Structure 1
Amino acid sequence: MGDLIQNDDSSEIQNNGEEEQVEEYIEPPREKIDVEALITENGDCPTLNLMMKNLNADEAKLLMELLKDNKTITSLDLSLNWIGNEGVQSVADALNNNTTLTEINLGCVDFDADTAKHFGDVLNNNKTLNTLKLCGCGFGPEGVKHIADALRNNITLTTLDLGLCKLENEGVQYLTDALQNNTTLTSLNLKENEIKTEGIKVLADALRHNKGLKKLSLESNNLRESEVQYLSDMLRDNTTLTTLVLNENEIEDEGLQHLADALRNNKTFTTLEIQTCKIGDKGIQSLSDALRTNTTFASLNTSYNNFGEKGSEYLIDALRNNKTLNKLALCKNKIGNEGVKQVANALTNNTTLTFLDLRGNDIGAEGIKHLANSLTNNKILTRLDISNNNIGDDGAQYISDFLKNNKTLTELVLRENNIGPKGAEHIADALRNNMSLKSLQFVMNPFGHEGVEYLMDGLQNNMTLSRLYLDGNGLDGEATKLAIATLKTKPRPKIDIS
């Protein structure tokens, strides 16, 4: 009996052992990409977008061989493909003799400094390439040295994206040496490259008298007041740079004061992006004072700085008589109803602003009422974004009222505003007779299928709207498809609905 029990136990142990065994996973064979078919499907389009197509090095090589005699494709996007050093080298080697491609995007295709040397050769030999995007390629200072050396004498490249390439101060030094002689490059992106104080200093010194560069991005480089001081000093002498992107840096009020002082009398600068830079009321006040005397400023992005009602009051007060600013982004600054009242009052007399972004500012229906009233007879604004302000059905009513009379707005964004079926009905009523709106983003609002039916009905006689976004509205799939299909049978221009 004991023997029997012992045998049963050992059998159980053996069975358990078998159950714990895991079969070795064998990865299925990778499906080969038909590169020739991708080119054929592209037809006569001058842009071949192969982003995230899972191409490998061999397929990249074949692609460039097939494009050797192609005279149609001028722009090639190979970003986010795993082609590696070998594949990148094939691309570069082919570009040495290519006379059709003008733009290459290899974003997030990781390759080393030795492979970057091949792009130095391209910039020495190729006479047609004007745009090179290498953001996220990570080849470091030694890699950018090869590119910088070639830039000294290159006379065709106008746009160079070196964001997230781990350049650090050393890599920036190589670039600044090249910029002393290069007069062709007009746009340079150095986003998130761990550039410290000394790197910014040498870059600013090189740009003081540079006659080519018009746009510079230093986004996400942890810049502070001291680094911004160098850039501000550069702007006092530079007469070419028009656009400076400083988003996601710790500029704060003191840094912006330096910039504002430099921009008061600058005669060429047009665009400043300072989103998420920890700027408060004092910084905005300094910038506002500069806007009163600057006569070239055209575009300003101060989003995600949380400077509130007082800061918006300074800024908007400066815009009352400003004759140049045409694009203003104020999203996520908590300006509230009082702040938007200031905006509304300024828009009554403003004759230049064409783009206004007020996303996420706790405005609500009351604030929208003031804004809508000021826009009823506005003849300038073409794009308005009031997403994420919880304006509700009442706010939609105010928007509807101004849309019935406004004749210039072409794009309206109402994303995430808690607009229900009744609010959708208000907007639909306005669409019956509105003759200017071409694009309406109405996503993430709980109006459901009932709201869609109102919209489809309102659009039956509308001959202008060509793009309608309805994602994330709690829609009944089949019923909504039927309503949209019905609209598309009506005798009106084609409308793209998503």
Structure 2
Amino acid sequence: MSSRASMSRSPMGVISESSECQGSEVSWSPRNETQSPTGNDDEYDTDLEVEEETETFDMTGRNRYINACKSHGIVPASYFLRHMQDEELNMQHHGLGAVGVKVMSFPLQINTSVVNLNLEDNWMEGEGGVYVSAMLKDNCFISELNIAWNKLGRRGALAVCDMLMSNTTLEVLDLTGNQITDAEAQYIADALNENNRVRILKLGHNQLGDASAALLGPAICENDTVEEIDLSWNYFRPKGAKYLCDGIKANTRLKIVDFSFNGFGNEGAIGVYDILKLNQVLTDLRLSYNRISTPGALLIAKGMEANEMLKILTLDHNPIGVDGTKAILRAIMSENCAITQFDISGVEVDKEFIATKKEFQEGKDVTILHGLVLGDYVIKPRPKKKSAMLFNVPIAEVNAGNLFEHLKRYCEEENVNVVDVLLSLDKRREQRLAATDVISTIVTSGLPITEEQVNIVVSLLSEMENSDGFVDISPLVGVDS
């Protein structure tokens, strides 16, 4: 592990001092912006610290939690009280907010039972991220933390990164969907350089782009602890793909990498070729929806010829073409190849591919998933299916020009607040959003939508994308129901 981390070990964020568990104002700022003018660190104790108790020590933290709730004027969460001594504590979708997370952090500081803590989707925001991070500096039992979909933003992300610099027990960290941007990439890179405990790191559905890749690539190269990393649904394009692949090809610990829903293209496939050729540790590589076409597939096939470790290769919904599918299939048929699952769902193949696949599977236990077989159609009447509709209109009538109009009307019919969420993501009021933000919002909104319909929306958004990956959302503003 490199010791060249640029991040200081001093606290990146602090919570205002209080002698009791009372609702004081929170004042937290990034590193180097709240340094004590006297240089005395004692001035920066957090209000998660309480006065020394005069009563018998509360081993469970139950009394500490109830008193904190009373001080902050909120109702204790009955589910938390019932399960606070369980090994796995699942508090996802409880709408806790920052204050709810704060009072929960008091008992968790001294809790010795909880190992797996799930706080997904609780609207913690940056303030809640600060409280959880402060708690984890004291708790030395929690090894798995899920704080996905909490809108942590810059403030929360920096607090988490600072915690990682000193925490020695956390092994699994899920930061999916937290509006983490390029501005926080340096702190993530520093944490990767310094932390020697985290094995699984999930950063999917964020706003990391090529600038982040330039920092994360070298950090991934030097990290010798992380075994699985999820970078799906970000803004990594060909340039960023090169940085990331350069880091991964030299890494000696990573086993699972998820690059799905980025925009690698054929240039990015060059980096994938290097990984397959040079890395003999990786066992699972996911490249779904990355705009890789036939030339890129041929490179990947060439890399597979030299690879003896990869077991799962996922390339579904890439336009790799019939020639690309056959090239990769021939490559994985090598005697030294370890592939057990090859996924090109949504990609058309021909009868030659099917014949070769059948021959291959007779001698080896391997799962191969693919799309339609060209020249093997049976023409017969098809009954109308519900999946032939999108947003309550026939799929044939939905196109890139009217997608958002139909989406808005459908959301009003279903009484699902997707439009306001999308508009709230447009912080600069430019009436444009990243296509990945649009589809992730739709998928997680609760709308009744099938996988087939999601694929159609993804395809239409791809047509609408500008070169920078953004789409025009002005129809969401100007269309009336």
TM-score (norm 2): 0.60
Return closer, same or farther for 1:363/1:308 CA change in 2, 3 Å cut-off: same
Aligned-partner Cα distance in 1 for 2:241–2:188:
18
Aligned twin of 2:150: 193
Question: Which of 113, 116, 135 lines up with 1:178 in the alignment?
Answer: 135
Between the aligned partners of 1:419 and 1:249, the Cα distance in structure 2 is 37
Measured after TM superposition, the shift of residue 286 of structure 1 is 0.9
- Give the letter aligned to residue 357 of structure 2: I
> Using the alignment, how far apart are the partners of 1:113 and 1:253 within structure 2?
45
Over residues 106-155 of structure 1, what are the superposed CA-to-partner deviations in whole Å (9 max), with x where a residue is unaligned? xxxxxx9945544554465x2xx221222222121121123222221222
Contact kept in structure 2, 1:334 and 1:361, CA below 8 Å? yes
Match of 1:412 in 2: 368
| Superposition deviation, residue 224 in structure 1 | 0.8
Q: Give the AA of the match of 2:369.
A: V
Cα distance change, pair 241–343 in 1 and its aligned pair in 2 (3 A)? same
Structure number with the bigger relative contact order (C-alpha 8 A, sep ≥ 6) is 2
SS of the counterpart of 1:160? strand
Give me the TM-score of the superposition, normalised by structure 1. 0.58
Preserved contact between residue 130 and residue 155 of structure 2 (Cα < 8 Å)? no
Query: Is 1:136–2:88 an aligned residue pair?
Result: no
Which residue is equivalent to 2:321? 364
Greater Cα radius of gyration, structure 1 or 2: 1
Report the Cα distance in structure 1 between the residues aligned to 2:76 and 2:324, rounded to whole angstroms.
53
Q: Give the number of equivalent residue pairs.
A: 310
How many Å separate the matches in 2 of 1:396 and 1:138? 50
Deviation at 1:238, TM superposition (A): 0.6
Q: CA RMSD in A?
A: 2.5
Structure-2 separation of matches of 1:264 and 1:377: 29
The CA distance in 1 between the partners of 2:122 and 2:346, in whole Å, is 35
Query: What corresponds to 1:382 in structure 2?
Result: 340
Q: Name the SS of the counterpart of 1:370 in structure 2.
A: helix
Residues in 2 aligned to 1:113 and 1:169: alpha-carbon distance in whole angstroms: 21
Provide closer, same or farther for how the CA distance between residues 332 and 166 of structure 1 changes in structure 2, counting only shifts above 3 A: same
Q: 1:165 to 1:136 in 2, by over 3 A?
A: same
Over 3 Å counting, the alpha-carbon distance change for 1:116 and 1:278 in structure 2 is: farther
Deviation at residue 274 of structure 1 after TM alignment: 1.1
Q: Give the fraction of aligned pairs with identical amino acids, expressed as a percent.
A: 25
For the structure 1 residues 116 and 377, does the alpha-carbon distance in structure 2 shift closer, same or farther, using more than 3 Å as the test? farther
Give the letter for the 1:133 counterpart.
N
Where does 1:190-339 land on structure 2 (aligned, <5 Å)? 190-339=147-296
CA contact (8 A) 2:173 2:201 kept: yes
1:352 aligns with one of 302, 309, 317: 309
- Classify 1:147/1:375 alpha carbon distance in 2 versus 1 (closer, same or farther; 3 Å): same
CA contact under 8 A between 1:292 and 1:322: conserved in structure 2?
A: yes
Is residue 2:353 matched to residue 1:398?
no
Contact 1:376 1:403 in 2 (8 A): no
Matched, 1:153 2:110: yes
Structure 2: how far apart are the matches of 1:412 and 1:292?
25
AA aligned to 1:166 is W
Note the 1:39-58 alignment, pairs <5 A: none
Indicate if the aligned counterparts of 1:167 and 1:194 stay in contact, CA closer than 8 A. yes
CA distance in 2, matches of 1:302, 1:195: 22
CA distance in 1, matches of 2:148, 2:212: 18
Aligned letter for 1:143?
G
Q: Is the 8 A contact 1:123 1:150 kept in 2?
A: no
CA distance 1:360–1:223, change in 2 (3 Å):
same
Q: Tell me the distance in 1 between the aligned counterparts of 2:75 and 2:338.
A: 50
Deviation of residue 420 (structure 1)? 6.6
Corresponding position: 1:168 with 2:128: no
Q: For residues 180 and 73 of structure 2, what CA distance do their matches in structure 1 show?
A: 26
Partner SS for 1:152: helix
1:320 Cα offset (Å): 0.6
CA distance in 1, matches of 2:351, 2:118: 44
Deviation at 1:212, TM superposition (A): 1.0
Cα displacement (A) at 1:350? 1.0
Q: Hey, what's the Cα distance between the residues in 2 that align with 1:253 and 1:259? A: 10
2:238·2:264 contact (CA, 8 Å) conserved in 1? yes
Q: Does 147-156 or 355-364 show the bigger shift?
A: 147-156
Residues 72-87 of structure 1 mapped to structure 2, 5 A cutoff: none
> For each residue in 1:193-222, what CA deviation from the matched residue of structure 2 results, as whole angstroms up to 9, or x when unmatched?
111212211111111111111111111122
Quick one: which amino acid aligns to residue 402 of structure 1? F
Asked whether the 8 Å contact 1:329–1:358 carries over to 2, the reply is yes
* Cross-structure match for 1:93: none
Counterpart secondary structure, 1:312: helix
Q: Secondary structure at the match of 1:328?
A: strand
Q: Matched residues in 2 for 1:135 and 1:353: separation?
A: 34
Tell me, in whole angstroms, the C-alpha distance in 2 between the residues paired with 1:396 and 1:115: 61
Q: Could you say what secondary structure the match of 2:229 adopts?
A: strand
**Contact 2:91-2:120 at 8 Å conserved across structures:** yes
Tell whether the 8 Å contact from 1:265 to 1:294 is kept in structure 2 after alignment.
yes
- State the 4+ residue runs in structure 1 displaced beyond 6 angstroms: none
Question: What is the Cα deviation at residue 245 of structure 1?
Answer: 1.0
What amino acid does structure 2 have at the position aligned with 1:412? Answer: I
Measured against aligned partners, the alpha-carbon deviations of 1:449-482 in whole angstroms (never above 9, x if no partner) come to: xxxxxxxxxxxxxxxxxxxxxx99xxxxxxxxxx
In the TM superposition, residue 258 of structure 1 has moved relative to its aligned partner by 1.2
CA distance in 1, matches of 2:167, 2:312: 31
> Is the 1:281–1:311 contact (alpha carbons within 8 Å) kept by the matching residues of 2?
yes
Alpha-carbon displacement from aligned partner over 1:259-306 (angstroms, at most 9, x marks no partner) = 112122111111111112111111111112212322111111111112
Give the superposition deviation at 1:385. Answer: 1.0
**Which sections of structure 1, spanning at least 5 residues, go unmatched?**
1-95, 97-111, 424-443, 445-470, 473-498
* Residues 374 and 422 of structure 1, relative CA distance in 2, 3 Å threshold: farther
